[in-house]
Amino acid sequence: MAAIKHIFNELHYEMTRTIAEGGMGVVYEAVQRGAGGFTKVVAVKLIREEYSTIPEFQKNFIGEARLVANLIHTNIVQTYHLGQIGGQYFMVMEYVSGINLEQLIERQAVIGRLMPVDIAAFIVSRIARGLTYAHQKCDREGRLLGIVHRDIGPKNVMIAYEGDVKLTDFGIAKALDLMYNEEGKVIAGKDEYLSPEQASYAVTDARADLFPLGIVLTELLLGRNLFRDADRLVSRQNILSMPIPKFSALRPEIDPRLEAIILKALQRDRDKRYQSAFEMLHDLEVYLYSDGYGPTNEKLGAYLKAIMADPPHATEIASLRAKS
């Protein structure tokens, strides 16, 4: 960390802490400094040094940066810059002051509370909104990029304390002419959040992001991933063949309208699944808002702050639940 701090200080980035570490990369919080006392908090993502000289990883990292550079949307973490120093590539990205969805799920478990149904549906609707934009993105010549994220899961969804929901980490996405891809030979993604296409080594399209989005919705509602097993192969087999339960039997607050959305998202036959993220977004918003007032970023922000407080603000949580 000390060596990295020294190198980046020369580029006017002051590394302040490690945000996240993955198998191949590390993300740091940093302060960018400029003329006239200018400062901006950013996130800096680096390839781990041991992978930085491997052409495959370099190509994918550069491809991710090129891909997300023009994905400018309120529900996607923005990338500002791709650089290289000392043979190591790095990305400068939007810093989200908040937590990821996995941390929120863990927090809910610690305090023994299930997330309000409307808050869960709202979070997933915002992810679907970001996916709608990404799936429809074209290049400068008007060619559809054919983006498939392929790693939809709670760890890759950020929630700001103000209530903004942002999809991140397109590191294993596939897109026209931009990303390294061996689809059909390897499985991209986490076993408990795969689509059946991914789990069976099939070639994917945008619909492959919607099955795991359905999994995320059920995990928020139930507090657990029904497909997860300690054995990765079992998780994958569950994705392919585990009977899909009646979710209202597992949580009575799940009404028939939401149950129908979940079941359509979890169709193993992709021709019977939602055919686009926009379709799923539409159904979620009809569910949330057709009766009048529904959840907003501000309501999600208030809920997040109440849940993350130590101890949790029980009165505020109860008030938000009552309005669900």
Q: How far apart (Å, rounded) are the C-alpha atoms in residues 161 and 300? A: 8
- DSSP state at residue 243: P
User: What pLDDT was estimated at residue 12?
Assistant: 79
**What is the model's pLDDT at position 176?**
74
For 157-172, the pLDDT digits (tens) are 999 999 999 999 888 8
Dist CA 76 CA 108 (whole Å): 24
pLDDT tens per residue, range 260-315 = 999 999 999 999 999 999 999 999 999 999 988 889 999 999 999 999 988 887 76
pLDDT score recorded for residue 198: 94
Name the CATH superfamily for 98-322: Transferase(Phosphotransferase) domain 1 (1.10.510.10)
Structure tokens at 92: 């400068």
* Residue 178: closest CA among 267, 280, 70, 275: 70
Pull the structure tokens for residue 114: 């299930």
Q: What is the Cα 143 distance to its own chain's centre?
A: 25
Please tell me the predicted confidence (pLDDT) of residue 157. Answer: 97
Extract the tokens encoding 71.
Answer: 């994905």
List the domain boundaries for the chain: 2-94, 98-322
CATH level 3 topology of 2-94 = Phosphorylase Kinase; domain 1 (3.30.200)
Query: Using CA atoms, how far apart are residues 207 and 204, in angstroms rounded to an integer?
Result: 8
State the average pLDDT for the chain: 90
Catalytic-role residue among 118, 151, 191, 209: 151
Low-confidence ranges of the chain (pLDDT < 70): 1-11, 23, 177-186, 315-324
Strands (DSSP E) found in the chain: 13-21, 25-33, 39-47, 79-85, 88-94, 98-100, 157-160, 165-167
Q: Catalytic: 151? A: yes
Strand order across the 157-160 sheet: 98-100, 157-160, 165-167
pTM: 0.91
CA distance 114 to 197: 30
Q: Yes or no: say if 121 and 67 are a contact pair by the CB < 8 Å rule.
A: no
